[in-house]
A = this chain, B = another copy of it.
Amino acid sequence: MPKQTQVDADVVIVGAGLSGMIAARAVLAAGLTPVVLEADERVGGRILTEDVIPGLPVELGAQWIGDTHERMFLLAAELGVETYPQFEDGETSYDLVGSGVLRESEFHARFGDELAELERVLRRLDELASEVPVDAPWSAPQATEWDSITAGAWYDAQGLSPVARTLVEICTVGILAVPTAEVSFLHLLFTIQTCGVTSELFAESEGGAQTTRFVGGTAEIPRRLAALIADHIMLRVPVQLIEHSADSVSVHCRGGLVARGRRVIVAISPTLTGRIMYDPPLPGARDQLTQRLPNGSAMKAFFVYDEPFWRTDGFNGQLISDVGPARMSNDTCIPGDDHGVILMFLEGEQARTFGRLPEDERRAALTAELVRHYGGKAAHPEFYVDGEWSDRQWTRGCYNANHGPHVWTAYGSALSAPIGVIHWASTDTATYWSAYMEGAVDAGERAAREVVAALLG
């Protein structure tokens, strides 16, 4: 059979991540024909589950949803993917600012004042974030001021104790995956506001962003979604060029495929949208925006043991530390499987530095940290795997696009505004839980609404 060189559709969608596939499903539901062009050999984008041991899926990408992620709960239900709660029983282990390893109860007893400081800062962030319109952060009353400083500079100015300052840094980097010295304070407030309040964002329990997991692995969501629109997805077709006119698009892929349609939804991270050639070229303001939205750096490292021995010792598998390469960890055991699985997070500078060491050195440094917190049993995992996202050609970093100072106020209005027949999706453009799977669905649905309204009136 000759290689397919042309495909026609109403709506061409670039990227078969969650956002692009949600958009495709919505377009199809409206009676229009989508075609999704995916550069990679798989769907799912920043969702990536790998069965490293048969029956033991590990989540190298997006993993959790939270209680207010309504779209994701609904989607999981529609797709028949069951959920289960994140394991939370037991104590977190701390080691901060030279405290040495302390159990949660000890840490709270010793650093009650510092935790109260942190709480005050989070309440203040909530107050300020409530003034940021999620669909136009640049129009917040103090947008200019907030966008001229970094989140780190704002934290520094709060007069926090070293423990509170370190804790708030770890919490923030855990969301943004870049140091707070690189992120606009306005962007931090925007992020908080798209998620509700800081307690939603920073906490893992009682309503946080990480309360719930998916049976079989998160990738069940994109896998089943793809199955519903399988006739409309093409893999291994990297988009190089989008020609566009007032009422049509021709999307050219490496290898020669041309997808023609009436509208295009580009459902990849903003920095990647900037790598496509557009003819006619996009306005300077859009182009300068995509030069200024780098993805963060995140690495997840999984240790698999024969059992979750930390539970027996009263630990929940979470650590918060400024000592080793990982600032945080999580118990990510699978219900019904006997293995103990601990996930270590390396984010921002940690991913950039330790993430580039040879694997044996990364593993040794992380193992040493686990041993310090959970004892000698941690020294001998059955299995180790890690994954860093900047090496992945079709993703190039996680968790999302980060806005440095002045980006929202100088260029933000170009983030999701359609340009002629070109529309933008991906969680980075969401106004509800931006950077999360929930945001991917939000943005995909919004882009589909724009396109359907334009084509069907």
Interface range, A side? 35 or more
User: In the complex, what residues of B have CB within 8 A of residue A284's CB?
Assistant: 388-392, 396-397
Contact call A149/B410, Cβ cutoff below 8 A: no
User: In the complex, what residues of B have CB within 8 A of residue A390's CB?
Assistant: 284-285, 287-288
Complex CA gap A393/B287 in Å reads 9
Complex CA gap A271/B288 in Å reads 10
Contact call B294/A406, Cβ cutoff below 8 A: no
Within 8 A of B (CB), among A179-198: 179, 181-182
User: In the complex, what residues of B have CB within 8 A of residue A271's CB?
Assistant: 291
Asked if A356 lies at the interface with its beta carbon under 8 angstroms from chain B, I say yes
Contact call A295/B291, Cβ cutoff below 8 A: yes
Asked if A139 lies at the interface with its beta carbon under 8 angstroms from chain B, I say no
Contact call A396/B291, Cβ cutoff below 8 A: yes
Asked if A371 lies at the interface with its beta carbon under 8 angstroms from chain B, I say no
User: In the complex, what residues of B have CB within 8 A of residue A103's CB?
Assistant: none
Most buried by B among A291, A388, A389: A291
Which of these, B149, B283, B352, B356, contacts A181 with CB under 8 Å? B149
Complex CA gap A413/B391 in Å reads 16
Which residue of B is nearest A355, CB measured? B284
Which of these, B275, B277, B297, contacts A288 with CB under 8 Å? B297
CB distance from A307 to the nearest CB of B (A): 34
Interface flags for A247-267 (1: CB within 8 Å of B; 0: not) read 000000010000000000000
Asked if A349 lies at the interface with its beta carbon under 8 angstroms from chain B, I say yes
Which residues of A line the B interface, CB within 8 A? Answer: 148-150, 153, 179, 181-182, 238, 240-241, 254, 271, 274-275, 277, 281, 283-285, 287-288, 291-295, 297, 349, 352-353, 356, 388-393, 396-397, 404-406, 410-411
